[in-house]
């Protein structure tokens, strides 16, 4: 074992936390050479449930798991962490408007951004999963004054995986045959799953499917997949979200198997307003995230991208006082 990696997980007693922690502790995120030190953040009403999760982690006797600290204090949770997975968020309650949801989460991510800034390792990598993930990430990064913007990301790789699976099914191919697909924009129903550069077994995806399937079935399916899962099973995606978060962090720390999608703080790539947390086609190597810069986007793609950018601008404007 070469080093111990300290990993904070917020919302650790929730569904995604439960689906994620055991896989992290078994080494699936960082490999067998990293010892794991878990810092688990929850709110007071969930501490009993979290204690149960900690007992189960102990009962697995994972060889890599060196330490587990459950806490309700963000400063303690983020002390010297190398990785922070911000999963916990306030769900939309009855009668809550979108603005109220943004505001309630704003308070959480302001506090957590400051706590990361004050306490985390100077090269911490942060992934925001809790929704609205892009805008929560925007709030966290703007409140983490001592950290760099490229240390913060939000999760759109689940949407990427969903899109890859749908295209593979449609073309009767294997998911590994699908390349260069991308999710643009917000993790919301305005996201744009783009096929213009995608290939299946080296053939342009748009030569294999009809434009009608692309616009009327594929795009809405990927955009609404989370809602479809809630409708089918009564609870939201948890195992697939945990899997996506593990892949996101593994790719970032090592390299991605080709193109993937991540939301990062925009530097204005493709004309997107700088500072927004926006999902782009990404490639990771050597511990770095790079935006793929040479995509050719037709009018249809550009319109879709503008639409999702506009939603992110509106979300940002609603919480501008927190930045």
Taking CB under 6 A as the criterion, the residue among 7, 8, 9, 13 binding ligand NAX is 13
Closest CA to 263 of 226, 311, 212: 311
Q: Are strands 34-41 and 83-86 parallel, antiparallel or unpaired?
A: unpaired
Residue 109, both tokens: 């991510």
236 binds ligand NAX (CB under 6 A): yes
Q: Going residue by residue from 171 to 210, which x/- string records binding to ligand NAX, judged by CB under 6 A? A: ----------------x-----------------------
How many binding residues for ligand NAX (CB under 6 A)? 29
43 binds ligand NAX (CB under 6 A): yes
- Omega before residue 132 within 30° of 0, cis: yes
Q: Are 222 and 186 in contact (CB under 8 A)?
A: no
Q: Going residue by residue from 244 to 283, which x/- string records binding to ligand NAX, judged by CB under 6 A? A: ----------------------------------------
88 binds ligand NAX (CB under 6 A): yes
Out of 187, 196, 248, 285, which one is annotated catalytic?
187
Residue 185, both tokens: 């924009």
Site for ligand NAX in 144-173 (CB under 6 A): 155, 158
108 binds ligand NAX (CB under 6 A): yes
Using DSSP, state whether 147 is helix, strand or coil.
Answer: coil
Segment near ligand NAX (CB under 6 A); pick from 14-22, 276-284, 300-308, 314-322: 14-22
Q: Are 319 and 109 in contact (CB under 8 A)?
A: no
CB of 91 or CB of 287, closer to ligand NAX: 91
Q: How far apart are the C-alpha atoms of 122 and 133, rounded to whole Å?
A: 23
Taking CB under 6 A as the criterion, the residue among 29, 40, 89, 208 binding ligand NAX is 89
315 Cβ contact list (under 8 Å, min separation 6): 102, 132, 134, 135, 138, 186
């Amino acid at each position: 074992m070469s080093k111990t990696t300290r990993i904070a997980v917020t919302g650790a007693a929730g569904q995604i936390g439960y689906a994620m922690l055991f896989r992290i502790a078994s080494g699936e995120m960082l490999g067998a050479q990293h010892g794991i030190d878990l810092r688990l953040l929850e709110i007071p009403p969930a501490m009993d449930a979290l204690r149960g999760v900690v007992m189960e982690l102990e009962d697995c006797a994972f060889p890599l798991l060196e330490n587990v600290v459950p806490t309700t204090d963000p400063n303690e949770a983020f002390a010297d962490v190398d990785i922070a997975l911000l999963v916990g968020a306030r769900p939309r309650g009855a009668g809550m408007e979108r603005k109220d949801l943004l505001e309630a989460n704003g308070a959480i991510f302001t506090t957590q951004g400051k706590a990361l800034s004050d306490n985390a390792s100077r090269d911490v990598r942060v992934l925001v999963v809790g929704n609205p993930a892009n805008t929560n990430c925007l709030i966290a990064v703007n409140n983490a004054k001592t950290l760099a913007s490229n240390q913060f990301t939000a999760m759109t790789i689940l949407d990427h995986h969903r899109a890859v699976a749908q295209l593979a099914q449609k073309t009767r191919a294997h998911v590994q045959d699908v390349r260069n697909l991308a999710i643009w924009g917000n993790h919301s129903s305005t996201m744009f799953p783009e096929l213009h550069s995608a290939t299946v077994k080296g053939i342009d995806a748009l030569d294999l499917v009809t434009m009608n399937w692309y616009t009327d079935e594929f795009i809405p399916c990927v955009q609404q997949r989370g809602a479809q899962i809630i409708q089918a099973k009564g609870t939201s995606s948890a195992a697939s979200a945990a899997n996506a978060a593990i892949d996101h962090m593994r790719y970032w720390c090592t390299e991605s198997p080709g193109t993937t999608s991540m939301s990062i703080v925009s530097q204005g790539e493709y004309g997107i307003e700088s500072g927004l947390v926006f999902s782009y086609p990404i490639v990771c190597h050597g511990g770095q995230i790079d935006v793929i810069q040479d995509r050719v986007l037709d009018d249809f793609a550009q319109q879709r991208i503008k639409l999702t950018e506009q939603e992110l601008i509106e979300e940002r404007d609603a919480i501008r006082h927190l930045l």
